[in-house]
Structures are given as C-alpha cells and as structure tokens.
Amino acid sequence: MTGIKDVLYVRFCVTDLQAQQKFLDDFGFQTRIDDGLLMARGTDGSPYIYLAEEASEPAFVSVGFAAESEAALRDIAAIDGTPIEPNPLSGGGLIARLTDPNGFSVEVVADIADSSLLTVAGRSGFNDGVEKQRLGERVAFAAPECLVKRLGHVVLMVNDFGETFAWYQRRLGLLISDEIVMDKDGQEQSLGSFTRCNRGEEYVDHHTVFFINAGHADFNHAAFEVANWDVLMQSHYLLKKAGHQHSFGVGKHILGSQTFDYWKDPNGFMLEHFTDGDLFNESFGSHKRSPADLMGTHWGPDGMPGQ
Ligand SMILES: [Fe+2]
C-alpha cells in the first residue's frame, strides 16, 4: 500500500474571479480571495479544495492529491526526480509538481495543516417507507457553515488510458474499480476506468479519478460531496434560483451509486454535487463493466453529463 490518501483540490484559471466566487458561494463552498487567488473550502478540514486565478483564457490548471505521508511524497517524487518544495499556500506543507503523459499538471502534497472543521449540514433521522428512524419529533436541520464537504473525484479525458493508468498506478498506487470495456471486431476495447485509492482495509470512494479513454486530453468534471440528499436538493434549488447553468441530473449512477447533480460554472467547467456513493476497500478488486452500465442510471434523466 503506497501512494495517496485522496484527491484534495482542483485548480483553474477563470476569466472573472468575482463571478467565479459568486458561483462557488452559490455552489456551497466557503470562499475567499487572497492576493488574486480564489480559495474555496468545504466543511472537512482541508484549507482549500478548489483554487482559481484570473486569466484572459479559462483553463483547467492542475489536480492535487494528498500523499499518505511525507515519506510517500518523497517516494512519488523520486520516480521522476521531481523536486519537493515548500507549499506556499494556506496550511503550508510540501508539494511536488508532476506532469502526466497527457500534459496535465498533477500536484502531490503532504503535511498541509488542516483548518478547523466547519459545521456540517446534519439532519434528524429519515422516515422512509420501510424503516422509521424519527419517532415523536419533527424533522430538524443543523445550520451548516457551508454545504459542500470535500472534493470526491475528478474525471479526465485522456489520450491513451493504458499509458495514463500505468503512470498514475506507479506513482499514486491507484486501483481499478470498474473498467468499461466493449467488443470491437472481436477485440476487447477499453473506454476507460473508474479508479480508487489503495488504503488497504480502509474504505474509500468507488472512484477518485475516472479516466475516459478519449483519444484527447481534457478536463471533464470535478465532483464535490455534500452531506445528504436534502443538501443536494437544497443546493439544486439555490443554484437554479441564482440563475446558474444546470447540466445533468438529478439522478443515481449505477457505477459508484452516487446520487448526482451536475452544473456548469461561468466558464463552462462542469462541477458536480454528489452524495450516497459506494465505498470499497482493497478486497473489492477490479471489475469489467459495460458501456450500458456506464451510461445507465438507477433512476434519472437519459443522456450523459455535459451534453
Ligand atoms: Fe462524477
């Protein structure tokens, strides 16, 4: 078991920092602009899970992963002889800046000091049709300090899945959860894979990175976890009433089981809210699934995110 604990942040260039901050506030982050850098956090302890600077052209800049430890960061950096530098951002720590085979900037960090946790959007128990958890009391919601909890996964379109996954597997220790395969002229063709962190017996998200075998490199989306279904729908209506661009949802994926809701930010980058995703550990292994499983939902709209 080596590598990373989790994905930690995504970083962008945007054309209007104030408009982006307004969107992120409406999306459920707690935000601040510090010396031209827009930093957004959730209720978990990381001081930032989204970063943006203003530029004339919008761009996906990098994805950041938290190493298991400083020793793990040193092992990762040593593979390419990448220098480890002090991290200049809030929380400090150490950072190694890698470049993957697609040209994506991949930052690996360690020892970032957590900020204090913020109040999560808790609620009293659910009374569903089968099990009644809330007896003799009205439903009650705790007032959260912000609605987003954490960054859960990123989805990247890549030139060549095999080459890309080999790179990430060696450096970050990622495991394949579900590979999407289809038959083409009697040959098995990979459309990409949902990959997760390897933390041994510890349960992790079904996917931390989904690599789409697209034949070109591009950012697809980043997904942020919210506390529960109520928050997902609360956020949906907050964003809708604020006039932001909805992309896809609400629905429930088959692979990963997340209840999802996709939005577009002011520059058209897709950001997702999710809740109730599957958790697996190392023993889950790796599986092959069909494009129908990828495209299908337990319930939700037809189509795919981003269309
Ligand atoms: Fe997603």
- Each residue's pLDDT tens digit, 257-289: 999 999 999 999 999 999 999 999 999 999 999
Question: What sign does the dihedral 20-6-248-210 (CA atoms) show?
Answer: positive
Give the DSSP per-residue string, 145-210.
S-SEEEEEEEEEEES-HHHHHHHHHHHH--EEEEEEEEEETTEEEEEEEEEE---TTS-EES-SEE
Instruction: Give the amino acid at 191.
Output: L
- Is 182 inside any structural domain? yes
**CA 221 – ligand 1 centroid, Å:** 7
What pLDDT, on a 0 to 100 scale, did the predictor assign at position 245? 97
What pLDDT, on a 0 to 100 scale, did the predictor assign at position 141? 87
**CA 71 – ligand 1 centroid, Å:** 30
Instruction: Give the amino acid at 304.
Output: M
pLDDT in tens, 135-155: 999 998 888 899 999 999 999
* CATH code, domain with 70: 3.10.180.10
Q: How far apart are the first and last CA of the chain?
A: 38
**CA 257 – ligand 1 centroid, Å:** 10
- Is 282 inside any structural domain? yes
**CA 75 – ligand 1 centroid, Å:** 29
- Is 134 inside any structural domain? no
**CA 117 – ligand 1 centroid, Å:** 24
**CA 161 – ligand 1 centroid, Å:** 18
- What is the tally of structural domains in the chain? 1
Is the Cβ–Cβ distance between 84 and 94 less than 8 Å?
yes
Range of 63's domain? 4-113+147-299
Q: Which of 119, 297, 142 is CA-nearest to residue 230?
A: 142
- Is 124 inside any structural domain? no
- Is 132 inside any structural domain? no
Pairing label, strands 259-264, 37-41: unpaired
What pLDDT, on a 0 to 100 scale, did the predictor assign at position 169? 97
**CA 52 – ligand 1 centroid, Å:** 20
**Cβ within 8 Å of residue 262, ≥6 positions away:** 221, 246, 247, 248, 249, 270, 271, 272, 305, 306
- Is 270 inside any structural domain? yes
**CA 256 – ligand 1 centroid, Å:** 9
- Is 122 inside any structural domain? no
Q: What is the mean pLDDT of each run of 10 residues along the chain (307 residues)?
A: 89 98 98 97 97 98 97 97 97 98 98 91 90 94 91 98 98 97 92 97 98 98 96 97 97 97 98 98 96 94 83
* Distance set, CA 88 to CA 20, 23, 24, 85 (Å): 22, 26, 23, 9
- Is 221 inside any structural domain? yes
**CA 272 – ligand 1 centroid, Å:** 6
**CA 246 – ligand 1 centroid, Å:** 15
**CA 298 – ligand 1 centroid, Å:** 15
Q: Is the whole-model pTM more than 0.95?
A: yes
